[in-house]
Chain A
Amino acid sequence: MPLHLYIVRRFLFAIPLIIGITLVAFIIANAVPSDPVSANLPEKSQNDPEIVAAFRREWGLDKSLPEQYVTYLGNVLQGNLGRSIKTKRPVIDDIRQFLPATFELATTSIITGLVLGVGMGIISAVWRGKLVDYVTRTVALLGVSFPVFVLALLGLSILHAQLGLAAGPGRLDVRITKPAAVTGLYIIDSVIAGRADILANALSHLILPSLVLGVYTSGLISRITRSSMLEVLGAEYVRTARSKGLSERVVIMRHAFSNALIPVVTVIGLSFGNLLSGAVLTETIFSWPGIGRYAFQASTSQDFPAIMGISMLIAIIYVGVNFVVDILYFFLDPRIRLA
């Protein structure tokens, strides 16, 4: 199938999925026996029927459920995700404010995970059954077994409090002023502003959370890289490459690894999607003002407009990441292009 037809088909398939996700979020938001009134109004106001009625009217809670959902979808089509009950701001503005922090953290974390995970996976597969294989597999398993909140606390205790090698929670030190917002990504904004001090500070704040999330992600990537490489290393074309007298480095990297990439790229895509949807626990511990923390605050205050907005954002992120991964398949495997 030609690439452009494939792109159109994927785009059309994404629309019902995104609508479906908003429907699930809407059902969950309304099927549970909780009342946004009690979660968001002070106790004194809850006893005043007029205030309660005004609150219900303001947030559309006085309409029937299908009516509420149809109104919501209509608003979404116009780019209006509603207003957060908690922050009292448009949800789209909240997302615009919180997403760059998550994007910055997710990008540095996936790079960390990619470097560590692919490296460990290849080493483990090439030296299968040797001591180095056991060591790397154990490290990879440790990565996926350690709760991220414990890894984060260990990192804060050792690398920040004891050794002073990394900065603590937050995106910047309190004494540092934020760079003028252009992209919302402090690394890029500080470069645009020509402020090396802000850049250095932002990077030092990224070290710990990126390392924590990167170690976890590297565990997943390493395991899939190893098993994918093991399958490929036994293939006849790898044996042929060796028998031609090619160096081991060329055999492993060009003939084996490039053919083992598809499952690896899939896991990297899924992990990046996960990170972009907000690493709730890590963002909470590191006071990182990202989507994960916003989702946590929205959930605990039953801020349904925000929950619905986040759900939709996450659906779009997943569809987008899977889309990019599928396009990458086209370039990685000629058989998919020709199918």
Chain B
Amino acid sequence: MTSSTFSSTPVFDWRDRANKVGFVLRRNPLVLIGVVITIIWVLATLFAYQIAPFDPSVQNINDRLQAPSQTHPWGTDELGRDIFSRVLHGGRITIVAGIAVIVFGSLLGSLIGSISGFLGGNWDELMMRFTELFLAFPTIILAMAITAALGPDLRNAVLALVIVWWPSYARLMRGLVISAKTNQYVDAVESLGATRPYILFRTIVPNCLSPMLVLTTLDIGNAILTFAGLSFLGLGAEPTTAEWGRMVAVGIDFFDQWWMWLFPGLAIATLVMALNFIGDGLRDIFDPRTRK
């Protein structure tokens, strides 16, 4: 049986969505600002090696703790390293970690949620009660306990956040699957003799992806904030690593040298704010109640 057999399955209408995106961008300038700031940060960190004026890890004790100047626009740290260069390189870790948490968390959550919603009955009850146990914990405390227990490093911090992050996606995907499986096209595919995994993963799940995409986009900012928070507590990147949360934490010991904590802090804030601007716009597109 080939996938073309079931070509009657409704598909996501990207042209309609693109029109709505254009409409929202025209009506909501904050979304446009968000998109521009996000693109700037992504490009700046992507081309950090080309843009950064200094090597982020090279120490120059003679230049330590220098205030912002023409040579070092965002000053230098306690080891004479250029803060601007470190912020550009640090974004590579923070942004990738945030995206990794969302990608793996949503994959795991979607898998559990879709199976739970599709199977229904006692399996659904069992899987959802298990999910709720994780949801009842405050994110940072659970992530902190897992990271501290696994050993504080970047990989474990991401792993801990994935463990914390999947339940909300599982809940959403379950709801979407329960709603989608009552559609007639699912009955049609079933009557053509499709297997249960085929029905779930090739027919139902693709039709649940659009709200999932919205939630994941809304969540990237949160994931970046939480990851930076863990790093700030010393449970993510090592002290020497150029990572935004860790750089702020190191900067506290040099509180009067404000440039050491302010610039990496502003980097996190501007990126998360831009992502939230985009998230708000996406919500306007997909939630008819908030449209005028």
Contact = CB atoms under 8 A, between A and B. Distances in A.
Contacts of B262: 150, 153-154
B280 interface: yes
Interface stretch (A60-68, A83-91, A278-286): A278-286
A148 B235 CA distance: 17
Interface in A111-142: 128-129, 134, 137-138, 141-142
Contacts of A202: none
A149 B229 CA distance: 8
Contacts of A33: 150
Contacts of B261: 150, 153
Contacts of B134: 24
B30 A134 contact: yes
Interface stretch (B50-58, B194-202, B207-215, B263-271): B263-271
A138 B235 CA distance: 31
A145 B149 contact: no
A299 B148 contact: yes
Interface in A222-276: 227, 230-231, 274
A314 interface: yes
A161 B255 CA distance: 10
A300 B150 CA distance: 10
A101 interface: no
Given A280-B233, A281-B233, A315-B136, A146 B269 contact: yes
A23 B133 contact: yes
A174 interface: no
B144 interface: yes
Contacts of B150: 32-34
Contacts of B273: 141-142, 145-146
A21 interface: yes
A150 B225 CA distance: 11
Nearest to A315: B136
A314 B229 CA distance: 20
B229 to A, nearest CB: 5
A118 B152 CA distance: 39
B47 interface: no
B221 interface: yes
B268 A314 contact: no
B282 interface: no
- By secondary structure, the B interface counts as helix
Given A153-B265, A281-B229, A138 B133 contact: no
Given A20-B129, A34-B151, A280 B248 contact: no
Interface in A29-43: 29, 32-34
A299 B145 contact: yes
Given A147-B229, A284-B233, A28 B136 contact: no
A21 B137 contact: yes
B233 A314 contact: no
B137 A281 contact: no
A145 B221 contact: yes
B156 to A, nearest CB: 10
A149 B137 contact: no
B74 to A, nearest CB: 15
B140 interface: yes
B80 to A, nearest CB: 22
Contacts of B138: 274, 277-278, 314
A318 interface: yes
B268 A32 contact: no
A165 interface: no
B112 interface: no
Contact of A230 (B145, B268, B290): B290
A302 B233 contact: no
A307 B227 CA distance: 21
B229 A227 contact: no
Contacts of B225: 145, 147
B137 A24 contact: yes
Contacts of A28: 142, 145-146, 149
Contact of B141 (A137, A146, A295): A295
Given A32-B150, A149-B265, A21 B136 contact: yes
Contact of B276 (A145, A278, A285, A310): A145
30 contacts: A21-B136, A28-B142, A28-B145, A29-B145, A129-B292, A142-B273, A145-B269, A147-B228, A149-B232, A149-B245, A149-B248, A149-B265, A150-B248, A153-B248, A153-B252, A156-B255, A230-B290, A280-B144, A280-B229, A280-B233, A285-B252, A295-B145, A296-B233, A299-B141, A299-B148, A299-B149, A300-B148, A302-B149, A310-B141, A314-B138
